[in-house]
Amino acid sequence: MGKSRHSSARRHHARATISDVAVRAGVSPMTVSRVINSEGNVRDSTLAAVNAAIHELGYSPNRAARSLASGSQIQVCLLYANLSSTYLSATLLGALEQARENDTQLVVAECDGEADAEQIIMDQLKGGISGVLLVPPLADSLDLLDLLKERDVPTVTMGPQLVGERISSVMIDDRSAARTMTEYLIGLGHRRIGFITGNPKYLVSEVRKSGYRDALEAAGIKWRPELVATGRFSYRSGLDAADRLLALPEIPTAISASNDEMAAATISVAHRHHIDVPNELTVTGFDDTLLATTVWPQITTIRQPISDMSHAAIDLLTRSIRASRAGGDTECQHLTLDYSLIERESSAPPARRIPRDRIA
């Protein structure tokens, strides 16, 4: 019985609110707030009553609520659209962790496209949002960036962008990373290397394709447009792109996809055509999301530290907002984090040419 009473008491304590403390102490919630925030102008007897009520109820003031009450709360909006689930999960992991460390309230908002994003931003500004974090593909929208700049809203983007002198960003060197992956494939002995791009509307797609071309040219390998298939950063688009590349009269010995989802789709298409990965076809990805290690064979990929990037972006945004409020320097900053090539089971030296009749 005693154990039950203790458990009940703990549950009661967990539910205690500032209103509960006010009722127990016989004062108003505003008075409790003044005590919690050490604002003074509270009689000693009232102070004692409030503190006794807090102790009896086990009330623990919420730091974010205290900041909000004092007007110092920072509220930032992480805005995204058409983001792959694995990239979004990694982004949220870092953003939520850093927001908690910085005592910042994080609002996560999804939109259908740029027009919808503009409306969401306007609504968030009316609600008192302090800053905005844009992730791909919205980070590539000049209209959104111009809107935020015109309204003097502290903003940070994830990924490469065209307005670096105006908006802060956190990124990796995507061009160098794509070149590194292609050089790796060339080093394995591949010469006929297919490439699946991301959505052509997004800057990062062209940047990664440029890195692929850089490596080919440096190795004296002729650029062949037919070996490049357009994707959309989605699994479905990866299926279509891989089908196109594997329908060529002479298929590639390696296919490098611009993200892990399209690489996983390529492996699926290869399996459907009874093409062994990696013995008959090497497949590589980009990002090193969870998907890269949950398919078979596991994917050789570029590790983009997505969680670290969103972690750094929230910290950069929070510090910028605080500096602005204090009248300090708010010049934009650009952080470039390290990437790495992760070698797994989906890559190997080229074996032999696959007869055309092997591919249905």
Best CA proximity match to 348, nearest among 221, 185, 178: 185
pLDDT confidence of residue 329: 65
Q: What is the pLDDT of residues 42-54, one digit of tens each?
A: 787 888 888 888 8
Per-residue tokens: 49: 């009553």
Model confidence at 251, in pLDDT bands (50, 70, 90)? very high
Whole-angstrom distance, CA of residue 134 vs CA of residue 140? 9
All domains of the chain, ordered by start, with CATH? 2-61 (1.10.260.40), 74-172+306-329 (3.40.50.2300), 174-303+343-358 (3.40.50.2300)
What pLDDT shows up at residue 64?
A: 47
Amino acid at 150: E
Pick the closest to residue 80 from 159, 161, 134 (CA basis): 134
Q: What is the pLDDT of residue 292?
A: 96
Q: How far apart are CA 164 and CA 158, in angstroms?
A: 12
Per-residue pLDDT tens digits for 178-236: 999 999 999 999 999 999 999 888 889 999 999 999 999 999 999 999 999 999 999 99
Q: Write down the mean pLDDT value for the chain.
A: 85
What are phi and psi for residue 134, nearest 5 degrees?
A: -105, 130
The distance in angstroms from the start CA to the end CA of the chain is 71
3-state secondary structure 167-229: CEEEECCHHHHHHHHHHHHHHHCCCCEEEEECCCCCHHHHHHHHHHHHHHHHCCCCCCHHHEE
For helices 114-126 and 142-150, give the axis angle rounded to 10 degrees: 20
Higher confidence at residue 160 or residue 314?
314
Mean predicted confidence (pLDDT) in 279-294:
95
pLDDT value of position 163 = 57
Q: Binning pLDDT at 50, 70 and 90, where does residue 23 land? A: confident
Pairing relation of β-strands 282-284 and 334-336? unpaired
Of 5-14, 35-44, 293-302, 338-347, the least confident: 5-14
Q: What is the pLDDT of residue 102?
A: 87
Write out the two tokens for 257: 């996809």
Most distant CA atoms of the chain, gap in Å: 91
Structure confidence at residue 341 (pLDDT): 98
pLDDT number for residue 353: 62
Residue 82 pLDDT more than 50? Answer: yes
Residue 310's nearest CA partner among 151, 172, 165 is: 172
pLDDT at 61 > cutoff 70? no
- Would you place residue 65 in the very low, low, confident or very high pLDDT band (cuts 50, 70, 90)? very low
Place 308 in a pLDDT band, splitting at 50, 70 and 90: very high
Instruction: Return the half-sphere exposure (C-beta side, CA atoms, 13 A cut-off) of residue 280.
Output: 16
Chain centre to alpha carbon of residue 256: 22
CA distance 104 to 5: 36
Q: Order of strands, edge to edge, in the sheet holding 282-284?
A: 228-230, 193-197, 254-257, 282-284
Checking if the pLDDT of 2 tops 60, the result is no
pLDDT of residue 9: 37
In the numeric block, the tokens 């959505």 are attached to: 199
The H-or-E segment that residue 80 falls in is strand 74-80
Overall size of the chain counted in residues: 360
The residue with greater pLDDT, 5 or 142, is 142
pLDDT reading at 166 higher than 90: no
Evaluate whether 103 touches 67 at the Cβ level (below 8 Å).
yes
Model confidence at 68, pLDDT cuts 50, 70, 90, reads very low
Q: Tell me the HSE value of 138 on the side-chain side, using a 13 A CA sphere.
A: 30
What's the pLDDT tens digit per position in 108-141? 999 887 778 888 988 888 888 899 999 988 888 8
Q: Could you report the per-residue pLDDT of 72-81, keeping only the tens digit for each?
A: 678 999 999 8
The model's confidence at residue 83, banded by pLDDT at 50, 70 and 90, is confident
Position 297 scores a pLDDT of: 98
The pLDDT of residue 138: 86
Averaged pLDDT, 327-349: 89
